[in-house]
Every structure is written in structure tokens, then in C-alpha cells.
Structure 1
Amino acid sequence: MTEAGKRPSFRPGNWPGWLAVGLIGLVGRLPRRLALVLSRPLAGLIHFGMKRRRGIAERNIRRCYPDWSPAQRETLVRENFRALARAVFEIAWSWTWSDRRFAGLGRVEGGGAVATILEQGRGVLMVTAHLSCLEIGGRLLARELPAAGIYRPLRSEVLEWFQNRSRLAYGKAMISKRSMRDAIRYLRRGGLVWYAPDQDFGPEQSVFAPFFGIPTATLVATHRLARLTGCAVVPMFPAYDERSRTYTVRILPELDGFADQSPEAALGRLNAIMEAHVRTVPEQYWWIHRRFKSRPAGEAPFYE
């Protein structure tokens, strides 16, 4: 398990991290209405400045939506960068707001079934996707259920300390993806862990399963955790609604028999569920990730 630990020093190498922490605190103090207004010019700035990431998003969207017109795909790219800009503020709200202030941001649907599973002493692996409002979703979930999270360690010791300190203020525990034995123990003890496995860490840790009709390296860790712990595997997806300016975390039914299927079948099933959600809010997916980097043997590189 990860603890926030001792506050890092102010040595020169940590100054960029401390500057980022200060900016997060400043952003968190802004009125939300003003923050949403500021997210629009920020979106234009990062769309212009993140040329490489923009190219990745364009490539992903072109392959995942081949029937769309170029104008439709370009609109989605710009909407995606708007969501990514808003995520900067969403992270600040999640890490700095009080429970009272945060309470009005959204709701959780479907938590009752998960609570019942936990009451029976069985662990729950809640799987989600890399969506722009994932940080908001994690905190909303923790308001309803005793949730722990699996995270990827950060390069900055200051930002990692601040991230874990902030998340542990409302979450049960944080588990590094480098310490999956901790996740196994936690699930075996009947805990709830949420996990976003939709990243490409190479074919050695993955099987290829369809995602938007493309063979996609899909981490086997999800299937392995279910098989080793007997936990329930439950999809969970947060989404932002532009009209109401609120968030909804939708918890789907348990994936019965997930651990009994082959990794290819189980993960193909999970990818199909993720794809179905992404299609409802495509602008909120992290298209800037090189999701299709690993390719089956003999297939041409996906990214030029």
C-alpha cells in the first residue's frame, strides 16, 4: 500500500513540482464558473502547442471512426482538447475541494449492487477507461463506496506526494501498479479497487483483443486479478454532461464468469463494454494516448 509519506524537500530539483502544486491550489480556488470559461482558451492553447499529441489523437480518431467525414473528425479532436483542458480544473477540484463543496458536482448510479457484494465479503475490481473526468469520477465513487485505486507512479516526487496525499483524504488506499501483490491481497480481503487498464504497456503484458475493430494490446492484469482473487469484475464509467455541468458515475452489472473465460475472450468482452461507453461521450476519451502502439506480428506500425 502507498502512503503519502513525508513531504518532499524544497531542493532546486523539486521546484518545478512545487510550482505545479501551487498552481493546482490556485486553480482550485477559482470560482467554478470562471474555471469553465478559462478552460476554453486553454483548450485552444494546448491544441496548438501539443502538436505530437494532437497528431496521435487525429490518427486514433481517423482509424476508430473511418466512416466519419474529415470535418466531423476534426470537430471531435477539438472537443477532445476542450475536455482535456477542463480536466486540468477537474483535477484541482478533486484534490483541493472540501467534501461539502464537492458534493454538488455529481452522483453515482448503481452503487447498491456493489455494496451488496462487499457486504458478502467478496472483493470488487472496478474497471474503467481513461476518460477526461476520471479524477472526478474517482472521488465521487469514494463518496459512495470504500474505494482504493491503482495508480501509475509519477516522475516528480512532489507531485506524487501531493497526488497521494490528496487522494488518501477521501479514498481508502492507493496501490502502485508496480505492487500488484498489494492489489491481490486487498481484493482477497474483500476490498474494492478501481483500475483503468486501457493502456499499451507492450505485448509481453497483454493479449490482442478488438477495440473499435482494431486488434489492441490489452493488459492481462485485469483477468489475472479476477482469477487469483475470485473478485467481482464491475465496469464503471464517469461522464460529464455539458448542459447540467454535472458528472455521473455509472456502475454496470458484474461481468459474470469473467475469470472463467480465456484472457482473449474476457478482455475482448471488456473492451467491447469500454468501446460502447466511449461512443456515448467520444470527446471525453484520452485519444492522445498511443493506445494502438503495439501491433500483432507482421502488422505495420500504427503511428508514423
Structure 2
Amino acid sequence: MTIQRQLLHPRHWPTWLAVALMYLLARLPQRCNYLLGKGLGSLFYRFAGSRRHVAATNLALCFPELDAAEQQRLLKKTMQDQGVGLLEILRSWFTPIDQLGLELELIGEEHLDGDGQGVIVLGAHFTFIDLTGALIAQRKPSDSFYRQQKNPVLEWLVSRARGRYGEPIHRRDFKRALKCLRQGRRLFYLPDQDYGRKSAEFVDFFGNPAATTVATSTLAKSGRAKVVYIVQQRLDKGRRIRLEVVPLPSIPSGDPAADARTVNALIEDNIRRAPEQYMWVHRRFKTRPVGAEKVY
């Protein structure tokens, strides 16, 4: 992707310096990258007070069976994993996926083929989600939703990174996503964040009512697409990524709330395998049922 001339203006030079630092970090050996990320995550645990509070609140809501000491240990591991995940994002942006030195264990790859039908590939916000998307798209080119960046240099960078393996689609451009699905393409989609009340149902997530998007059902029905879920897990200190493709033939069922419950249950089961690898720093329960108290 060509760099537009206006991005070379001096006002963007500080951002380009930051991009250069990102590139250098991304080129470190995998083991160094993992250890540095863990150290960075320890700094997050110590100094990122607001995000630590959000993660601690989420863990207390979702794992009430853990005592205070166990929750604190899980919180620390969670924050460390945020640092590991951050450097993994950089590696996925700047390093060709076949040069990452990762071992991929992909189970059920055949379910990613739609035989002319579009495929919605559902995932969740694990800290290594960019690696997951790149590893899938390397074998099976996939379009993906993304959030547009306010900084034009970062927008160029993210679009370039995502565009290597499919079309990056602005997260509000559902018309474009539907068109791609109707053309028989794959769409990588993450339905596990709180996007507010619009087009959402309150569905249990670890026993708590969570505003959950029903867009999965809408995309599947209007895009005439089949739906699969990717079970994700990072193993061996980041040297191995295990992905399992689970087909969801019941979606769309005609009941968007039931479809959302199906997806949330899969995500819950996935998280329980390695809870520290999930992005608990997001305010998953910020939208509350009418009359319910705020939790953050």
C-alpha cells in the first residue's frame, strides 16, 4: 500500500517515530517478544489503574467462586497477558505471518469452506486475536471489521496490516459486509463487546446480564452465510497457537436472543480454558438493564 504524500508532513513525524519503534519491537525474536510483553504487562498492572479496575471488576463478576487471593493472582496474570498481546499485535502487523516462527494447530479447517456460500468466522477478543485473524486468513483469505483510527498514519498502518489477507471493512459498513458474504467470501467477526442497547439483547455471560449484539444473526440471514466459531488458545509461551473451528448450523435460528446465547456460551467455554488470555480490560458490562446499578 502506497504512503500518501500528506502522511509525510512534519506534523506526522512523531507518529512515524512511534511506528519505527513498533517495527523494531516486532522484529525481536519470539521469545524476547514474549518476555518483554510480560514485563510490559507487569507495568500495566502497577500503573494502569483504570484498566486494572475494569479487569478486576470483570473478574469478580465472572469468577465469584475464586477467593480474593486467587482473583488477585488472575488479575496480575491478565494484565501481564495484555502486554504479551500488545507485542503480538505488532508482530502480526509488521512480520509476514509465515516468518513469525509460530506453530499453528488448526482443527476443523474444512468448516471454513463455504462452497460458494459466505462464511461468518466468529472469534472473541483474546489478546492474540490479531494473530488468530492473520493465521486464518493466511490459509483462507478473510475480510474483517475494524475501527477506523483518528490518526491518519495509524489508519494507514492498520488498513495496510489488515488488507494483506482480505478487505478491512469499517465496523459500521454492514452493507459492504453483506455484499462480501453474498459473494461467497469469509468475514472475520468479533461479537463479544458491549456496543450499547441498539441491536442488542441482554444475554447471560458468566451468569451476568450482558448487552450482546444480535448482528451475528442479521449478517447470517441477510448475507445468506453459514456461521462457525473459532476456539482460540495460546500455548507454550506463545510459540504455538491452537485454533478449532466449530460449525454453528443452528444460526440463524429465527430467534436472535437464542443465537446470542449460543455464541456467549461458546465464548465462556473458550475463556475458561485460559481466562488470563481474554481482554478483561474492556467494559463488558457497561450497558446495564433498566434499574440495575453501574458496576464500574
1:135 corresponds, among 127, 130, 134, to: 130
2:289 paired residue among 286, 289, 296: 296
1:54–1:107 Cα change, 3 Å: same
After superposition, residues 165-204 of structure 1 pair within 5 angstroms as: 165-169=160-164, 171-204=165-198
Q: Per-residue deviation at 1:164? A: 1.2
- Deviation of residue 100 (structure 1)? 3.5
CA distance in 1, matches of 2:55, 2:238: 27
2:220 is equivalent to residue 226 of structure 1: yes
Contact 1:4 1:168 in 2 (8 A): no
Residue 70 of structure 2 aligns to which amino acid in structure 1? Q
CA drift of 1:202 comes to 0.9
Question: For residues 152 and 258 of structure 1, what CA distance do their matches in structure 2 show?
Answer: 25
Contact 2:34–2:237 (Cα < 8 Å) also in 1: no
Moved more, 60-69 or 15-24: 15-24
Q: 3-state DSSP class of the match of 1:237?
A: strand
Helix, strand or coil: the match of 2:228?
strand
For the pair 1:112 / 2:110, whether they are aligned, the reply is yes
User: Which residue, 65, 68, 78 being the options, matches 1:67?
Assistant: 65
Match of 1:55 in 2: 53
Q: Which residue identity does 2:168 align to in structure 1?
A: M
Q: Is the 8 A contact 1:20 1:159 kept in 2?
A: no
The answer for the alignment partner of 2:256 in structure 1 is: 263
Q: Which amino acid aligns with 1:205?
A: S
Whether the 8 Å CA contact 1:208–1:296 is kept in 2: the answer is yes
**For the Cα contact (< 8 Å) 2:97–2:135, is it kept in 1?**
no
Query: Offset of 1:205 from its aligned partner?
Result: 2.8
The match for 1:251 is 245
Residue aligned with 2:102, SS: helix
Partner of 1:126: 121
Whole-angstrom CA distance in 1 between matches of 2:99 and 2:44: 28
Q: Tell me which residue corresponds to 1:160.
A: 155
Q: CA RMSD in A?
A: 1.8
Distance 2:71 2:148 in 1: 33
- Show the counterpart of 2:269: 276
Counterpart amino acid of residue 48 in structure 2: M
The Cα offsets for residues 215-248 of structure 1, whole Å up to 9 and x where unpaired, read as: 1101121111112122111111332113573112
- The answer as to whether partners of 2:86 and 2:127 remain within 8 angstroms in 1 is no
Q: Cα–Cα, structure 1 residues 103 and 214, in superposed 2: closer, same or farther, change >3 Å?
A: same
d(CA) in 2 for partners of 1:244, 1:84: 13
Q: How many correspondences in the alignment?
A: 296
- Alpha-carbon contact 2:34-2:238 (below 8 Å) kept: no
| Cα distance in 1 between the residues matched to 2:263 and 2:2 | 32
CA-CA distance at 1:13 after TM superposition: 4.4
> Given the alignment of the two structures, is residue 238 of structure 1 paired with residue 236 of structure 2, yes or no?
no
1:276 partner amino acid: D
Give the letter aligned to residue 119 of structure 2: V
Question: Matched residues in 1 for 2:5 and 2:83: separation?
Answer: 28
What is the percentage of aligned positions where both structures have the same residue? Answer: 32
5+ residue gaps in structure 2? none
Gaps of at least 5 residues in structure 1 are none
Distance 1:99 1:218, change over 3 A: closer
TM-score with structure 1 length normalisation? 0.92
Q: Does the aligned pair in 1 maintain the 2:104–2:241 contact within 8 Å?
A: yes
Q: Is the 8 A contact 1:227 1:260 kept in 2?
A: no
Q: What's the CA shift string for 1:230-275, capped at 9, x where partnerless?
A: 211111133211357311222112x123112311111011111111
TM-score by length of structure 2 reads: 0.94
CA deviations 1:58-103 (Å, max 9, x no partner) are 0000010011011111111111111111112211211111344136
User: Stretches of 4+ moved more than 4 A in 1?
Assistant: none
CA shift in 2, pair 1:7/1:256, >3 Å: farther
Q: Give the aligned residue type for 2:292.
A: E
> Amino acid of the residue matched to residue 293 of structure 1?
K
- The Cα shift of 1:5 comes to 7.2
